[in-house]
Amino acid sequence: MTMSDPIADMLTRIRNAISAKHDTVDVPASRMKLAIADILQEEGYIKKYDVIEEGSFKTIHIELKYGANKNEKIISGIKRISKPGLRVYAGKEDMPRVLGGMGIAIVSTNQGVITDKKARELGVGGEVLAFVW
């Protein structure tokens, strides 16, 4: 079965795993999803991720991060912005700020998949993939 929006599927799996207070979540791998997982790890939203090869399929095994106990969520919200039916682009001048800078926007640019802060530094725009706060 083909999936129309695999990035939304990844974000939904993470959101559901956090709501259910799971320690880990598995997501089918792709280069875009690996780049998103890398950003989430760099920004401190997840502990770590590994790529597991099962035959011809690759899976991203993500370890979720919580506060002192599992009731304190590090990721309180994660939302897909640009969808297959409605792409959302932002120029370097109008790069979105998530909760006034408290969260991050994940942006796909010609420099790769980066955060909104890095896009402002580099002076590039691109497709706004998701918000994380």
Burial of 116 (0-12, 13-18, 19+ CB in 10 A): buried
Q: Which CATH code for domain 6-132?
A: 3.30.1490.10
Domain boundaries, the chain: 6-132
In the predicted model, is pLDDT for residue 1 greater than 70?
no
10-59 confidence digits (pLDDT tens)? 999 999 999 999 999 999 999 999 999 999 999 999 999 999 999 999 99
Which pTM value belongs to this model?
Answer: 0.93
Q: What does the alpha-carbon distance between residue 106 and residue 56 come to, in Å, rounded to a whole number?
A: 29
Q: Is pLDDT above 80 for 74?
A: yes
